Amino acid sequence: MASALPPSLTVDALLQAADSALRALFVPAIARRHPTELPESRDLPEADRRHVAGLMRVNHAGEVSAQALYHGQALMARSAATRQYLLQAAAEEGDHLAWCEQRLKELNSHTSVLNPIWYTGSFAIGALAAAFSDALSLGFLTETERQVESHLSEHLGQLPAHDLRSRRILETMQSEEIGHASAAQARGASELPQWARSGMAMTSKVMTRLAYWI
């Protein structure tokens, strides 16, 4: 680990990180943009509604985790360019958070009550990775986005054919997650060892199963 603290670790940055956490967890997210040509919401059979709500709750929890990961990484980033990239990615993920939250409201459902746990754990992982190097930090970002993209593919396969609104939201999210992973690689992301990728996948499975119901 580098001996000196990163230049991004200032009092203002700490306050900004605290504010970002409170906003992600307790303030309703407001989207700055929306997926293009978003179909109108329509009523779903009760069984479909519950299942789609569970999927969207998982995706919302995943976006909470992504926010935390980026915020933790930005706080400990070594370069100003990396920090700016992470904050921009977090802003885009904020739109994803808002889309999932709005869809849950339309489905008369709720976000995961475990979101504070997901946020805390992801923030710690992001900050720890960034404390070692920007390359490792971007490596975690890349692998996270790859796994999120895989989950979104699974969810798209499970959506009822007539739920075009949820489908458009997830398709837009998936496209942007792929873009984030590619951008991180272009910025010099290091490849994570297999044990780290496997550990992230196992943690993701636990979160997915819990967030679907709680």
Domain positions in the chain: 11-23+45-213
Residue 141 pLDDT more than 60?
A: yes
CB contact set of 7 (below 8 Å; sequence gap of 6+)? 78, 80
- Pick 11-23+45-213's CATH classification: 1.20.1260.10, 3.40.50.10860, 3.30.365.10, 1.20.1050.10: 1.20.1260.10
Predicted structure pTM score: 0.88
Q: What is the identity of the amino acid at 169?
A: I
Q: What does the pLDDT read at residue 43? A: 87
CA atoms within 13 A on the CB side of 16: 17
Contact indicator for 174, 157 with CB cutoff of 8 Å: no
Residue 3 pLDDT more than 50?
A: no
* Residue closest to 61 by CA, chosen among 116, 20, 136, 115: 115
Q: What does the pLDDT read at residue 6? A: 73
Q: What is the identity of the amino acid at 119?
A: Y
- How distant is the alpha carbon of residue 59 from its chain centre? 8
Residue 198: strand, helix, or coil: helix
Buried b (16+ CB within 10 A) or exposed e, 8-26: bbeeebeeebeebbeebbe
Percent of the chain beyond pLDDT 90? 36
Q: What is the identity of the amino acid at 194?
A: Q
Q: What does the pLDDT read at residue 2? A: 46
Lowest model confidence (mean pLDDT) among 71-75, 169-173, 192-196: 192-196
Residue 194 pLDDT more than 80?
A: yes
